[in-house]
Amino acid sequence: MRYIEPHGHMVSRTTDDYQAMVLAGCAAICEPAFWAGFDRKSADGFYDYFCQLTQHEPKRAAKYGLPHYSWLCINPKESEDMALAADVLALIPEFLKAPTVLGIGEIGLNKNTRNEMKVLEQHIALAVQYDQMILVHTPHLEDKRKGTRLIMDCLKANGVVKPERVIIDHVEEHTIHEVLDQGFWAGITLYPESKATPVRAIDMIESVSAQRVWLNSACDWGHSDPLSVPKAAQEMRRRGHSAAAIDRLVYGNPVKFLSQSPRFKDPAAQA
C-alpha cells in the first residue's frame, strides 16, 4: 500500500515515526505551520521555525527517502496578538520562494475572535497576492461548526479565492457536507480522542462523494498517531473496499489536490 501524509507536524515527531511511516507505505509528507504548544514571543521565533520547515525538516525526511513539503503561516492560536501577526506575515513572502513550500497554512480560527478573523483575512490576501494554495485549520470541538462557517464566508468574501485550491481541514460529521457543497476540498483528521477516528472517517467517506476528501493524521506533540492514515486504509479493507478505491483515497486524492502546486511532485512519477 502507498499513501500520502498530507498533514503531519513532523518537527514534533521522532525518527522512529519517520521509519514507521515509510514502512507503512508513506510516499510523501506535507507539514503545515502550527502552534508549538506555547506562544512564541517574537517574529524571530517564527523565522527560525520557518527555516526549520523549509530547510532542516526536508533533510531529516530525506534520510528516510521521504519528500517533505510545507505550508507557512502564523497559527490562529497566536493570532490574538495583531502586532506579532503583522511581523510574521511580513516574513512569509521570503520563505514562499523555498522550493518545497506549497502554500499558506494552516490558517483559520481557534476561538472565533475578531482578531483571529482579521489575521485570517490577511493570510487569505497574502495567498491571493502570491497565487498560493490555502490549507485551513478549523476550530476544535464546540467551536468548529461556527468557525467553519465563518471561515468559508471569509474565503468567499475575498472574491478571488478558488474553492478547489483550498482544503478545509479537520471536518467532522456536522461540517463535511457544507464544506464539500461549497466546492472546497475537505480534510478528515484522524485523532485518537478529538476530531475523527479511522472508523468514523470511513463512515463519512461512505456517506459523501469522496472525490475532494483527504485523510491525515495531523500528528504533532499531543495525543496523535502518525500511522492513522494506513489504519484508516486497513478499516476500508476490512469493510470490503477495493485496493483501487483505497489507493484513490489515501494516495490519488492528496496527489490531485497538491499537484495544483507546480512544486509538488507525484512520488509515483518520480520512481
Partner 1 sequence: MSDPTPPRSREQVADLHFMDARYKLLDLAAFLDRLDRAAGGEDHRVRGLRAALPLLLEKDEGRVARILTLWSDPSVAPIEKADTKAASGVWPGLK
Nearest approach, Cβ of residue 112 and partner 1 (Å): 5
Contacts for 83 with CB less than 8 Å, ≥ 6 apart: none
Q: Is residue 143 within 8 Å of 165, Cβ to Cβ?
A: no
Nearer to partner 1, 5 or 172 (CB): 172
Query: Using CA atoms, how far apart are residues 73 and 91, in angstroms rounded to an integer?
Result: 9
158 binds partner 1 (CB under 8 A): no
Closest to 26 (Cα-Cα) out of 54, 6, 55: 6
169 binds partner 1 (CB under 8 A): no
Nearer to partner 1, 21 or 180 (CB): 180
What phi, psi does 52 have (nearest 5°)? Answer: -60, -45
Q: Using the rule CB under 8 A, which residue among 99, 159, 240, 262 binds partner 1? A: 240
Q: How many C-beta neighbours within 10 Å does residue 132 have?
A: 22
199 binds partner 1 (CB under 8 A): yes
149 binds partner 1 (CB under 8 A): yes
Query: Using CA atoms, how far apart are residues 224 and 211, in angstroms rounded to an integer?
Result: 26
Nearest approach, Cβ of residue 20 and partner 1 (Å): 23
106 binds partner 1 (CB under 8 A): no
Nearest approach, Cβ of residue 169 and partner 1 (Å): 16
Amino acid, single-letter form, for residue 174: H
Query: Using CA atoms, how far apart are residues 105 and 107, in angstroms rounded to an integer?
Result: 5
Number of amino acids touching partner 1 (CB under 8 A): 41
* Interface region with partner 1, contact rule CB under 8 A, candidates 17-25, 46-54, 86-94, 106-114: 106-114
Residues that bind partner 1 (CB under 8 A): 77, 80, 110-117, 139-146, 149-150, 172-174, 194, 199-200, 203, 206, 208-211, 238-242, 244-245, 248-249
